[in-house]
Structure 1
């Protein structure tokens, strides 16, 4: 038994999101052989709490099949690294990566996806924040169960402290005004307000900041994409033709400002009848996959049309925390890992120090 035999055994396991072996992805950091005992260190560039145990078991089983091995110890850790913003805007202090969640039009469930995606990343072991950039119709605060009228602390009147909700940090215009205050503002005022919310909030050591972008692809969205240090984007759509048309516009917008699109999330893909179990593609089918193929991006996930998702978001307890073991929550967790894995494959920022967020050893 030697190192080459161990590497060969491990090479049979492929990263489910990067489609690479542990050697190709650089996840294999060290192999130590002491007689019949083998110790392996693995390091992933994205949070993997939900599948960590499975990876340990698969790698352990593979090594145990090598002749001469009597005991195996596999240690896994996730190290989230900061990546360069695509638009050369100065990065935010204590924020490693900013992911913009956008849609070409309203009504496709973008904010619900944003909130659950942020919560799913946190459930996977990352430190996460969410910024509600929809100045005209902020909804993230309600979705996270932040009581109406709760205001962020503002020490010395110089900055805001984000509000903690379900283990993530949140900031929204809704925290600063009442629900009866109309935002009768022109585009430049909205852009300025968002930049203030972003830069004057004292985020606390975030691996990911999710920005719930306003719907559409007009001047406001383009300005935000150019002035916010966005690392990458996710575009949300539904399968219907008009939504797919606007989804294309959203991808084109990010392409114009050189922001990489990690992929497309297809919401409301199928309706599952709770009584008979029948599945019906009410808004059409295959649209998200076709868009992803056309633009050479990934289909990050497909979510069902489910009343419970809406009810849980409206009640301030989104699906990922309301029913963490249900099928939809697990879909969100899978989407979060996939988006983070795709981001981890991008060029890292050498000035951003990595932070070990979890470690497990037998």
Structure 2
């Protein structure tokens, strides 16, 4: 059984610098980027319920659709009821494309830190406490927003604070495209007016219970007796009492990196094989350098190209011996380009990624067979 909060001395770790990145209407934004005619429509990413017998759930919706009360996780048929027919567009989700864009964004994250906790394809926590590249964390956050928009033509909201809970609250505070900073000295003033439903862990079952206790916002939650919250809600009440005080010492849960890659976009596009090879040579060198820096090598090389019509292709080759040398990576990518892709297309994006990673201590060894 949990001890009452008022008997515990919970330290508030304010030494960390945490960024929460949340892409704006991610799947819908990708589709609008690739087809600008969708921007003025109420775009819903879901199978059209008029063709599925009313079945299906909304994955996400653009901000035009949200103005009509359409949101993710809602039955798709609700969009038909809420949005004027002339505005409504359904589009089947293309998760392969969304994952490719997410990988591109995560490659940008890895330019500033490897302490990354992905939450979904469209959001992640970054621990940038040890940042030495930028003069301030705010400058780093601005660079992330600008680089993501420049390289993907997509926007994101960013929250900056000293823990996960506040960073996520901050990113949600000013969507889409906002950037919100909550310092230790600002935490109480920031949380006080926040509706209680915005607090993490307050769902459909917990919200009415809190409202019945007269708790409607952060100020009410802070004023509530911690022992009462714990008795009424158990562990959830304990966590809410901590959050009301701006406390969340939960560390970033770093996921093992599964790939290392580099890619670039081009304007004007690449229009010759010679130009493509020159860029592949540069990218292979950068991937090799990063592999050595991270003490990794991998068994698979992935080539990614996107043409001027935004058609994206990924091709891969796998071998038993590890890739780490730039010449080996280039040779594999060049073969994929010549044998597996349309070499006549003008390219606006080229990328190389090495996957199947293992520590460099796992050496390539040729075993004698006799």
TM-score range, shorter chain: under 0.3
Where is the helix percentage greater, Structure 1 or Structure 2? 2
Of structures 1 and 2, the one with the larger relative CO (CA 8 A, separation 6+) is 1
TM-score (norm 2): 0.26
Q: TM-score, normalising length from structure 1? A: 0.26
